[in-house]
A and B are shown apart, each in its own frame.
Chain A
Amino acid sequence: MVARTAGLIAALVLLVLAPGTHARDLKTPQTPWYNLSSEQQRVLAPVASEWDRMPGYQQQRLLGAARRYPDMDPTHQQRFEQRIREWASMTPDQRKAARETFEGLRRLPPEKQYELRERWLRRHPNEGRYPR
């Protein structure tokens, strides 16, 4: 009896842990543009025309990022506004790759992060179109 109940609980554990992020992503329902608050619509205005074509998980990620907008300093807000359209136009694989690179960079010691940033910016002087 005890072994059977323990087995059932173990099966439940596996069942809960089994679905991957990808499966959960695909199940995320879409949020229509008209359901966004006026503040969310204002922040996400650069991607308004594409919004209703975006999958639900991408909308949620953008909403999550937009939620932080009011707390950003003016420089960060400006960068956010300039990059969000480019970000939304990237393919899911490109966004995933960018997140992975970003997280890889964050795992490095601060001085190494600084060195790599500077090295990249020196190599791409024309990329200085964002406020620094």
Chain B
Amino acid sequence: MNEKEFAHRLKPWLDRSAADVGELQATRLKAARLRALEAAQEPVRLLGLVTVSAGTARTLRYSVVQPTLLWLPLAALLAALAFQSLRAPDPGEIDAQLLTQDLPLNAYLDRDFRAWLHEPQG
């Protein structure tokens, strides 16, 4: 007898028994079925480093990955603002330095001087 024939013969017995199952037993069976399905799922390899069960992978996805993705734009905003404030020098500082350098202000407007800045350095 092959697997298909066995299932075919078993089904009426299971159907008959299922009709007699109470609510509590049905709930337990349902929970057991879910556990069995979970256990039967293929384990998942995370980032090619560790192998975890499918259930653990799902938990990680909902409790770690999704909240992280949610806050990622906010973190990017904060990082961008921090970067901007670090990168943009205080204009008052630049003006104070410009006003106190040994070169007069005319020099910084002189076309030749500006061109010299782009000379190849030997």
Given the interface contacts A83-B104, A101-B114, A102-B108, does A60 sit within 8 Å of B92 by beta carbon?
yes
Q: B residues 65-104 with Cβ under 8 Å of A?
A: 66, 69-74, 76-77, 80-81, 90-104
In the bound complex, CA of A124 to CA of B104 (Å): 10
Contacts of B73 in A (CB 8 A): 6, 9-10, 12-13
In the bound complex, CA of A130 to CA of B105 (Å): 10
Tell me the dominant secondary structure on chain A's binding face.
helix
Contacts of B70 in A (CB 8 A): 2, 5-6, 9
The interface size of chain A toward B, counting residues with CB under 8 Å, comes to 52
- Asked if B117 is an interface residue, CB under 8 A from chain A, the answer is yes
Contacts of A84 in B (CB 8 A): 99
Q: Contact between A120 and B77 (Cβ–Cβ < 8 Å)? A: no
Q: Contact between B76 and A13 (Cβ–Cβ < 8 Å)? A: yes
Q: Mark B21-50, 1 if CB is under 8 A from A, else 0.
A: 000000000000000000000000000000
In the bound complex, CA of A105 to CA of B102 (Å): 13
Q: Mark A107-129, 1 if CB is under 8 A from B, else 0.
A: 01100100011011101100101
Q: Contact between A103 and B105 (Cβ–Cβ < 8 Å)? A: no
In the bound complex, CA of A130 to CA of B98 (Å): 13
Q: Contact between A112 and B121 (Cβ–Cβ < 8 Å)? A: yes
- Asked if B13 is an interface residue, CB under 8 A from chain A, the answer is no
- Asked if B6 is an interface residue, CB under 8 A from chain A, the answer is no
In the bound complex, CA of A88 to CA of B77 (Å): 35
The stretch that binds B, out of A29-37, A48-56, A63-71, is: A63-71
Contacts of A9 in B (CB 8 A): 70-71, 73-74, 77
- Asked if A97 is an interface residue, CB under 8 A from chain B, the answer is yes
- Asked if B107 is an interface residue, CB under 8 A from chain A, the answer is yes
**A101 in complex: contacting residue of B66, B72, B99, B109, CB < 8 Å:** B109
**B104 in complex: contacting residue of A61, A80, A90, A130, CB < 8 Å:** A130
Q: Contact between A104 and B117 (Cβ–Cβ < 8 Å)? A: yes
B interface residues with partner A (beta carbon < 8 Å): 66, 69-74, 76-77, 80-81, 90-110, 112-114, 116-117, 121
